[in-house]
Chains A and B, each alone.
Chain A
């Protein structure tokens, strides 16, 4: 027991310390809030002079960049969405919890690989190789999914229920490696037999397609690699938050896994998956280093997957350090950054709201499970 006199003696000091600490915490938090608000205020304030630039200049400059950004994001999502969503379905619905808790962090490691490294591999190593081996690259894109189906067919006919499907991902790694090697080996032969010439040269001479070494295809693959883990993690969360009682109920009523997935799990987790895709889109729109290194950075408005593009983020990174402060280019680029900021902020807010709504709804449906 503390003697009362001593406690009384220190009481004002303790009270004072407590007030001081609370003040410090509140001031610190307000400083953080102010800094965050300052970003928005600064961007808006500095892009106001854009109003005095002739509208045509602004539109001419930004439309090209917007086109490039959308093209890059679209190419990315084309690669990323199927892989990420399929992987999420598999880990959330087919894998036992023990395996899932190991594979998920491993997949999330993909996100940790710095963009500059992915960009280097894509822009300096992959792009020149694909330029010389276009047919092989396309074969590598098409053949692995087909070979996975083939593996499934073989599995069903050769080993009826001998090995659990939950370990299929493990067996598929060497299988895909072998099939990739097969595609690399066979593609030049088929190309030679079927076309009689190099595919890229045929594209250029016969169809008049311009082929840039660093193009949308490369950007899509590289940025897809960077965006997959983000979409995957959120989609996996959404799918595994679907109450097991719902899935078990469906299966008790005689639905097979496929029906359970399409009729119960996906509709229930739909908004969550939607928000995962939105977050992925936000990431693809804002990614800078990969686009900078893996695209030609030429300001083009072509829809060809074999031509490059210049995105908003890349344009800001290249041009802003060289633009004179307070010049019209400077304000225009800051306006472009503001567009990026507002777009990603809105997309993320939408995704977050959808996700939170879904979570409360599912909790209610699952009876608080």
Chain B
């Protein structure tokens, strides 16, 4: 019996531990994303490593691990220089080095890291800068390079850099392919912070470079935002109309109850099912018909008969319809009937009651509905894989040529960018820091949207004096 009593006392601890565990996991996930996502932009120190075999190379130490099957540790170096590494014909940019084979490590202040467009990062020494027959060497070359990179991209001088990798022959590098340069070992703390800031800024404002291992995610942010806006424009009117119908116009009978249960259940239908519907009905159904009618000149290459912005937005609009209806209806149901009766008693028609009394009172609920729908749509990836997302879209969906908003174009999406870069990149190892950063961005967007919705709801309930 006493054994039983002890067990009873301990059992609630498991319950408390589940709460603690869930919060801990969420916190760890956010901490991991924050540290890896933001840490990637911090200028890491570079090392010139000399091996016992006499070989030297320059790189950034990433992490250490135990050697498999034997004692000792090894360290992973990022060495970059995909175009010039002689020892590695496959152009591998990472190397595991057994710690015991390292003879000397040197953090020389003159090591340079250049971010370049086709070949990824270069780590080594900057020997000289040649510009119009003039040749600058050493520190002067570095000064000239920093000045050139400070100018806007189209006004940079036409120059050649002479680069010296530690493990290969010197080569010439056109300046136009370089977009960033740093000497992390020589940087002050303040300079590092500034470098980090510009790194984050470039991540948010530039397109991907060097097979998604560099540059930023601007087209994906842009595509996600445009898609979400088009989706909101479609879903909000219909969702609100349906909610008004269910709550204000229809008789409350078996039919409306059935519809309500149906709508609620749609929220639980897997998103991939909506994707299937979007592909079959919108893309292959409506899209190919539109192509035959209006774009027959361009066939067989499809215009609307393939995935695109419009179909993706429509599919997500269907997906978020239940969210909007449920949240709006909740707001409508909270408005006391006395308000409506008062309006009708004063001679208002149904339309006037709606527009002057009910809808203004339900506006915050509709805002909540919009935010929840946007949050749901921004994080959803599975249906987009079927209806129009692209790995790398050559054109953004809005530009200066008529009709400005190109609904038939494929677009990039933050969530799909994560999936694609993490799983289909040719150099996953090099791309993962940027995937972390992208994931952090996506999580932040979705969490902030959700938090706003929660606070809005909380505030509303409190204003009406109802318990939360």
- Footprint of B on A, CB under 8 Å? 14-15, 17-18, 21-22, 24-26, 28-29, 31-33, 35-36, 38-39, 42-43, 46, 82-84, 86-87, 89-91, 94, 101, 103, 105-110, 112-121, 123-125, 144-145, 148-149, 151-153, 155-156, 165, 168-170, 172-173, 175-177, 225, 228-229, 232, 256-258, 279, 282-283, 285-289, 292-293, 313, 316-317, 320-321, 325, 333-334, 337, 340-341, 344-345, 347-349, 352-353
Contact = CB atoms under 8 A, between A and B. Distances in A.
A87 B15 contact: yes
Given A29-B241, A36-B262, A46-B280, A86 B14 contact: yes
B97 to A, nearest CB: 19
Nearest to B382: A288
A87 B9 contact: no
Given A17-B351, A279-B268, A89 B15 contact: yes
9 contacts: A87-B19, A103-B23, A109-B450, A120-B422, A123-B423, A125-B32, A176-B20, A176-B24, A341-B270
Interface stretch (B44-52, B128-136, B189-197, B435-443): B435-443
User: Which of A15, A26, A39, A123: most chain B CB closer than 10 A?
Assistant: A39
Contacts of A108: 454
Given A21-B350, A32-B242, A169-B23, A115 B381 contact: yes
Nearest to A313: B272
A353 B257 CA distance: 11
Contacts of B229: none
Contacts of A289: 381-382, 415, 419
B446 interface: yes
Given A282-B268, A293-B423, 6 more contacts: A18-B352, A21-B354, A22-B350, A106-B23, A258-B12, A348-B265
B115 to A, nearest CB: 23
A50 B386 CA distance: 21
B418 A120 contact: yes
Interface in B226-271: 237-239, 241-242, 244-246, 248-250, 259, 261-266, 268-271
B277 interface: yes
B16 A110 contact: no
Interface in B381-408: 381-382, 385-386
Given A32-B241, A36-B266, A352-B261, A90 B11 contact: no
Interface of B: 8-27, 29, 32-33, 237-239, 241-242, 244-246, 248-250, 259, 261-266, 268-277, 279-281, 284, 318, 321, 325, 349-352, 354, 375, 378-382, 385-386, 415-416, 418-419, 422-423, 428, 432, 435, 439, 442-443, 446-447, 450-451, 454, 468
Contacts of A26: 245, 249
Contacts of B380: 114
Chain B at the A interface: mostly helix, strand, loop or mixed? Answer: helix
Contact of B352 (A14, A24, A256): A14
Complex A-B, nearest 10 residue pairs according to Cβ-Cβ distance, in ascending order: A286-B270, A28-B241, A114-B379, A148-B17, A152-B13, A29-B245, A90-B15, A288-B382, A172-B20, A86-B18
Contacts of A113: 26, 29, 379, 443, 446-447
A117 B318 contact: no
A152 B15 contact: no
Contacts of B379: 112-117
Contacts of B13: 148-149, 151-152, 155, 168, 172
A336 to B, nearest CB: 9
B362 to A, nearest CB: 14
Given A176-B24, A279-B268, A317 B385 contact: yes
Contacts of A107: 19, 22-23, 26
Contacts of B418: 116-117, 120
B217 to A, nearest CB: 14
A337 B269 CA distance: 10
Contacts of B450: 109, 112
